[in-house]
Amino acid sequence: MSFANRVRALREARNWNQEDVGNRLNPKVTKAAVASWESGKSQPRMYRLEQLADLFDTTVADLMGEDATEAAISGTSRMVPLLGFAHMGEPCDEGNLADEVEVPASIADAHPRGFMVHAQGGCMDNRFPHDALLLVDPDMEPVNGQPVLAETSDYGAVVRNYTRGRSTVMLTADSHSGEYDDILAGPGDEPVVCKGRVVWYMGERDERG
């Protein structure tokens, strides 16, 4: 059983909802964070895994199930540089940034030149939380339909799904709201510069503290 299914099964066995689980952690996390874990969209960091294991009276290894790896269970991690902000539909609140972000070693080792950006906004909310730390791999070529970090002259650093046509590049939103416009660059337009593919993320608000 995967981590996502294991958490859901343990929660439901206790007749708790997702908010109940979030409120029992210290510090608390949102219902959306628990939902993200149960959907497989993200995994908590090691200290959260330990809290969840205690909460459900089990071990981290048992909780991870099919997703268990030596790195995840041992808690080994790597520090990845945090290079700046990107927006996902709305202007960013560009406050102070840490220099580095702790990520699982297995993730960092798979993307040795990867870097993090702090992304905010709702235009990618089918994929990422509104406030997220995204891992970008500059060595991975963009793939149609996959999220990238790109720079444009009009919008600055943005996170969107990438599509290349015969003579155009389109950056599209992936949001349930449908209110965001596509960014299109064709012949004669300022080029879209792809900085790398987004390969992993964690929710910024839910990982603080």
Q: Same domain for 111 and 188?
A: yes
Handedness of CA 123, 128, 133, 134 (dihedral sign): negative
DSSP sequence for 113-125: T-EEEEEE-STTT
Q: Same domain for 70 and 82?
A: no
Helix, strand or coil, per DSSP, at residue 145:
coil
Q: What pLDDT is attached to residue 94?
A: 43
Q: Same domain for 47 and 95?
A: no
- The tokens describing 86, both together, are 């990107």
Q: What pLDDT is attached to residue 66?
A: 59
* 9 has a pLDDT exceeding 50: yes
Domain carrying residue 179: 77-207
Question: One-letter amino acid identity for 122?
Answer: G
Determine whether 70 is exposed, middle or buried from the number of CB atoms within 10 Å of its CB (0-12, 13-18, 19+): exposed
Query: For the chain, what is the domain count?
Result: 2
Average pLDDT of span 155-165: 92
* 69 has a pLDDT exceeding 60: no
Calpha distance 159→171 (Å, rounded): 8
Q: What pLDDT is attached to residue 23?
A: 95
Q: Same domain for 66 and 103?
A: no
Query: What are the tens digits of pLDDT across the range 71-129?
Result: 444 456 788 999 888 888 654 444 445 588 888 877 888 889 999 999 888 999 888 88
Q: Same domain for 89 and 191?
A: yes
Q: Same domain for 90 and 183?
A: yes
Q: Are 38 and 4 in contact (CB under 8 A)?
A: yes
Q: Same domain for 90 and 179?
A: yes
Calpha distance 169→38 (Å, rounded): 34
pTM higher than 0.75, yes or no? no
